[in-house]
Structure 1
């Protein structure tokens, strides 16, 4: 048996690998605290859970249309009207198995062999492998910590060639928490349109933005130029529904049809009962988001103060999501020469699980999640600091 070359080139998820190592140590009886988690520590709202239970009790357990229930597709379209004053229809939306699935469908629908895809780094771990699975070529665009890990038009222009087909933007960002202001986001979109470059805008953290920063989106740009951009969303982060696997895309109807073709030959419809729960989520109330943003902003502030106190560390203060991405290579040495070995050292000596920056395209850094209890977070950061300062 020979596994395809396409798959052999793809790397396994580094975040899942860290979680597996942490679980292994837990099984050995060691106390492990994970700052590697990419999900809120808040429970899914009760009214969403109740809608799921009701769907089960009523026997709503059959297939639905591949792109999702019409009521849910309309709810996604209405979301953009409610929060961004953007007019969309159900035909502009598709319901997917999480935001990751929406991204995969988009790449498969848009990329031809050899097409180049601009990916600003640090990037979410799955972008390059997904592009490669679609037989495209990831072109990594480095950004600078001192610039808040935001890509400039100059950065993008320098990486652009005649083969450039797509640009992937992520705001707020995983892993950095960096968030593009609306004017900068629109400026990049205008540049891409003039270049004939399609934008995939990953906005799954769009409601987790902290003052004084304000919300931004390319859905308004999509409304003007629907053939030039697609928006990826999800309930995973904003509604603490990571395991429910409800994602979506907002796109031109022809692109939606292409994604439906892919989905129809791969996963078919999203879990029918989870779709009922998603409708309840979109109908509200949305008070969980306010509760989460208040908690995350508080955690961000004290976590940033602790991390910034470590000698020589550069750590941009994130405006969204629930991650920090400090530059820690000043602590590397012969025994721990990179982010992966440093994460292993911290896990083994302090019992704290982190994700190496190499997984996100910047080996100088390590990703910290602050999506956990305040006291646990403070204690964990203090333990990490002790490992780093140890000589």
Structure 2
């Protein structure tokens, strides 16, 4: 029996990150020594005090439904975190806990978009942004963040992309895949346009704890009361506390939007996983030393491997300021090695050099590749040497 699938899912583009990971796993299962640099998650285990708190909650019988918006105790910790980190005040009815930050984004687009509403998405973008907008019958409008401007869009670009159907703009800082940050001044200028044009700001801050050097994370919502009201912050514990599999994220902002997200969630997931919520309470209420140690480890890896990476012929790369990705432009390397495009170059890297990276075509910039340094320094250096040797051998051939 052939069942016709809904058009909304037929139009979806498969995740390039998942596709490359699957291919790498397939080769590994056949005995090949593949080094995977596609992972979008920390290589550290969840801190022990979080695991212990979640385990204790189950033993204490905390295994039932919770309110759809999340446990009041967790919402309280999230509110405390916002006040401590950004100086922003939220009330409990301005926060909803979701099954991961990805779910928070999905739910948000479902409640704010009608058919034909436009969402401005800077490129490079996280792979799920345009697909989630399309699933809500919205229209992704791509605006190029050039490498010359550290992959960030300018106020003029934002203004030029705005139409009478523009509903929202996504700001992801630090960014996946580039690791770049918007400064306070840049955010103020973008925010000014959003206020003038009544554009909702979707501020994805999932990598906020992973910022390096003298750089600092700034939330656009902390810059003025007006911008706070215009912004929905998306965040979670996945990256900051190495809890990707726990699936706890949240949204904070305008009360009517948050209430709509809560109502929708009550008919889709009922509530976030109870045990995971108790783990998230411990993540925010407990020691932040593991967070600092993980950030320091990522920064050390970045500073060591960055120079090794840009030493590869045909590789250029803006040094990231946060997250745990490098996003080099390898168009020239693909040309030097005889490949028609970067996607073909990436495929050959995996099949011949046994290094799995993610092609930039999945992020809207086909000249780049994304490498995650959320793996051991030893493996990172080995992978970069393999890529270097691969390029040089092809150039000599």
Task: Please give the range of the TM-score, normalised by the shorter of the 2 chains.
Answer: over 0.9
Q: Displacement of 1:158 after TM fit?
A: 2.4
Residue of structure 2 equivalent to 1:140: 142
Unaligned runs of 5+ in 2: none
Give the aligned partner of residue 178 of structure 1.
180
Query: Structure 2: how far apart are the matches of 1:30 and 1:221?
Result: 51
The C-alpha deviation readout for 1:264-305, integer Å capped at 9, x for no partner, is 111110110110111011102101121112111111112210
Q: Does 2:316 align with 1:317?
A: no
After superposition, residues 207-226 of structure 1 pair within 5 angstroms as 207-221=209-223, 223-226=225-228
CA offset at residue 218 of structure 1? 2.0
Query: Take 1:363 and 1:158, find their aligned partners in 2: how far apart are those partners?
Result: 23
Q: Which residue number corresponds to residue 128 of structure 1?
A: 130
1:369 aligns with 2:368: no
Name the structure 1 match of 2:290: 288
Check 1:265–1:339 CA distance in 2 against 1; reply closer, same or farther (3 A cut): farther
Offset at residue 336 of structure 1 (A): 2.8
1:386 and 2:373 are equivalent in the alignment: no
Match of 2:8 among 6, 15, 18: 6
Q: CA deviation at 1:321?
A: 0.2
Of 307-316 and 348-357, the range deviating more from structure 2: 307-316
- 4+ aligned runs moved over 3 Å, structure 1: 221-227
**Partner in structure 2 of residue 349 of structure 1:** 352
- Paired with 1:183 and 1:262, the residues of 2 have a C-alpha distance of 36
CA deviation after TM superposition for structure 1 residue 219, in Å: 2.9
TM-score (norm 2): 0.96
Partner of 1:79: 81
Identify if the C-alpha distance between structure 1 residues 158 and 337 changes in structure 2 by more than 3 Å, giving closer, same or farther: farther
Distance, in Å, in 2 between the alignment partners of 1:330 and 1:191 is 37
Cα shift at 1:312: 3.8
For the pair 1:268 / 2:277, whether they are aligned, the reply is: no
* Distance in 1 separating the partners of 2:353 and 2:54: 40
In structure 1, the gaps of 5 or more residues are: none
- Residues 116, 136 of structure 1: 8 Å contact kept: yes
Q: How many residues of Structure 1 are paired with residues of Structure 2 in the alignment?
A: 391
Per-residue Cα deviation, 1:184-207 (whole angstroms, up to 9, x for no partner)? 112211211111111100000011
User: 1:10, 1:129 within 8 Å by CA — same for their partners in 2?
Assistant: yes
User: Residue deviations 1:297-318, cap 9 Å, x none?
Assistant: 1111122101211234321010
Answer whether contact 1:222 1:230 (CA < 8 A) is retained. Answer: no
TM-score normalised by length of structure 1: 0.97
Match of 1:16 among 7, 15, 18: 18
- 67-76 vs 223-232, greater mean Cα deviation: 223-232
Structure 1 residues 237-279: Cα deviation after superposition (integer angstroms, max 9, x where no partner): 0000000001011111111110011111111101101101110
Aligned twin of 1:340: 343
For each residue in 1:55-96, what CA deviation from the matched residue of structure 2 results, as whole angstroms up to 9, or x when unmatched? 111121111011100111111111100111111121111111
